Structure 1
Amino acid sequence: MPPPLRVLAIGDLEHDEFSRAVELIEQDAIVELTRHAEASEEPSPFELLVAFQSRPSNIDPTLIDGLRARMPLAGMAVVLGSWCEGEMRTGAPLPHCERVFWYQFAPWWQTVRAAWIENRPAHWQLAPGDDRPITRPASPKLIAIDTADHDSAHALLDACETLGMAGAWSPRHDRRPLTTHASAGVWVGAQLDKVEEQQLASFRQSLPEHTPLVVLLDFPRRDRVERALELGATEVLGKPWRVEQLGAAVLGDVLA
């Protein structure tokens, strides 16, 4: 068993949108939690920096530069709040950091944790251009897909194949029961309005009890994420989603 992953967490650690992320890190790693991390020339004992940023420009980029100098081999990620969604157009993103929105953190952390436990290179340890390792289930899994969008359906079917799973999709207006019980479900929506709430609830009821259900939304807000969880989602991701994060969300029981 490898030693615990040592994480330096800085920034808006008490912001409501980040409470689950901080809790997950504290469960699985040796963590130093601080609002301020002064740059110095001393070497750092951490393998990973996680900066929590609720609003654009409220973390000084020079601080990240200084930490980069101290931690040249460490991974660096910034967990972004909802107010940071337009930052790429209007602001200056933090340097050196992988961008992870608050609603993406759980599956992102699952991939980091799995790589560390299995003694595989984390994605920040891969050379540029190298593919990230994809965790595949030990036994076949069938993923039920519910979307009204043909392009989304085909993208999800391709993702299932990449992840070593089978996907099954029937159009939302013409849903047909599966002849085999699904191991997980993926439901695609927009803003989760009242109509979509009913559609999500219906899809949840069509799945076996306790089956993982991943919901994909456009720019998820906290109230919509909470509503999706109330309706039976086990994880909510925003679009565009990443294959490895989708896989971690679907295969959470395998990676745990």
Structure 2
Amino acid sequence: MASQTIVDALLLGILEGLTEFIPVSSTGHILLAGHFLGFESTGKAFEVLIQLGAILAILSVYFARLWSMLVSLPSDRGTQYFVGGILLAFLPAAVIGYLAHDFIKTVLFETPVLICTTLVLGGIVLLWVDSWALNPRYDDVTKFPWKVYLGIGLFQCLAMIPGTSRSGSTIVGALLLGTDKRSAAEFSFFLAMPTMVGAFALDLFKNMDILTAADLPIIATGFVAAFVVAVIVVRGLLNFVSKRGYALFGWWRIAVGLAGFAALAVWG
């Protein structure tokens, strides 16, 4: 990774921040872009570790609300219920991610055709769900039933396949389970925190022995770029999906997937 340029890391960091919290698959975008840029990170760690920038973006935007939750957690039943729901939703991905980590990184991350396929299929699913005349039953992320929290967590496991999208899986799952569009996106934000922290910690632990000092400037560049861009995206996304829905992101996924197929056919 030391041979890669700062410019590559900057571009990939911007791409991470732009795509992490919208349902288009940040990992799929970064892996495809890295493939065509010739970017090879040590242990495929860069692609996961720069997600810390996106995590901190969420923490900065939601800091006041998170602090309020932390203060009230010991005594407030509503806060305890919501935090329990987040942890319940996080549990399936934590277990499967730990057990399948090596297979995901060494096989699925190395298959651009799979990524393009899941981008297109996921786009079709997103368009299909967005076109439904849904009658949402839940609009408050803090009061979803336990079965909804768990169901969203099970849907999140689909994102182990690169190109599927963590946020896309959780948002589609939430919509199918009866939430409205805004609360689906908002819960995806909250669920991202333990999920991405867990992925970051596991990947850092797995790659600690092979990362070198030469890797740090590349990772730091991607991290900072991801943070700045993700803050902008998070601040505007909830209002956008409340008014416009998710169709734009469905078409986006299909366009990127088809462009990826075409590029693979030409350049390999």
Common fold, TM-score beyond 0.5? Answer: no
- Structure 1 length-normalised TM: 0.27
Q: Higher helix share goes to which structure? A: 2
More strand per residue: 1 or 2? 1
> What's the TM-score once normalised by structure 2's chain length?
0.26
